[in-house]
Amino acid sequence: MPAFENLADLQQFVELCQACGLRQQAERVVFGEGVARSRIVFCGEGPGADEDKLGRPFVGRAGQLLDQMMEAMGFSRAVNAYILNVVKCRPPNNRTPTMEERDTCRPHLEAQLGLIRPVIIVLLGSSAIKTFLGEDARVSRCRGRWQCLPSGIWAMPTYHPAALLRNPGWKVEAWDDLKKVIDQYRALVDPSHVAPAHPLSSAAGVQKK
């Protein structure tokens, strides 16, 4: 895979990809959205029907919930965060992408992260968690626990917003995870970061290298 100097050039390359069968069935490639060089990235599974239609990540019901979660954390894709998915094309009928499909798209994901250079990545759901932490990783076992990736990025596994829509009772656990993300962001990036639903206080559970 060639090297790219910016996200725009990488996006043009990814939009021409025909490496797996997903592209033949998807309407368009959903590259990602947000502020380049954001210190925090939110990574989901793959585009759904709304995302495939509009070419933007997280714009359906799950995306609206993610925006609300990010707003409570003091983040926005328009201001200080980046949102992307493990695979860039919609799997048929919104099925879970296979390991082979995730592996095929992995170079695109790694190239994105290499250009954005985040400090923190929030892994939303099983596909994102397995991609970064291994096929044996499970949401129930690893959510809420910091992982330092080989790249040096701090990863927080948690529930996908779509799972929270199906199981609203998990929202309490998810918010506990996201409060840890806010604390870590304050410790590693911006001590004065304002999160409307998690006021500034002594950071707890922060991990540093």
- The DSSP 8-state label assigned to residue 149 in this structure reads -
**Could you tell me the two tokens for 69?**
């979660």
Angstrom CA distances, 33 to 3, 6, 129, 141, 190, stand at 20, 14, 20, 29, 22
> How far apart are the C-alpha atoms of 130 and 41, rounded to whole Å?
17
Q: Is the pLDDT at 21 greater than 80, yes or no? A: yes
Q: What would the pLDDT profile of 181-197 be if each residue is shown by its tens digit?
A: 999 999 999 999 999 99
Domains of the chain: 7-188 (3.40.470.10)
Please give the angle made by the CA atoms of 62, 58 and 181, to the nearest 5 degrees: 80
Q: Is the pLDDT at 121 greater than 70, yes or no? A: yes
pTM of the model: 0.95
Task: Please give the average per-residue pLDDT across 136-146, as a whole number.
Answer: 97
Identify the pLDDT of residue 77: 97
**Could you tell me the two tokens for 143?**
């959510």
Angstrom CA distances, 6 to 36, 43, 81, 113, stand at 9, 19, 16, 11
Report whether 141 contacts 107 (CB < 8 A): no
Report whether 65 contacts 168 (CB < 8 A): no
Identify the pLDDT of residue 98: 97
Task: Please give the average per-residue pLDDT across 33-57, as a whole number.
Answer: 97
Report whether 23 contacts 29 (CB < 8 A): yes
User: Mean pLDDT in the chain?
Assistant: 95
Identify the pLDDT of residue 206: 60
Identify the pLDDT of residue 209: 54
> How far apart are the C-alpha atoms of 93 and 82, rounded to whole Å?
26
Identify the pLDDT of residue 1: 81
Count of CB atoms situated within 10 Å of the CB of 5: 8
> How far apart are the C-alpha atoms of 33 and 52, rounded to whole Å?
14
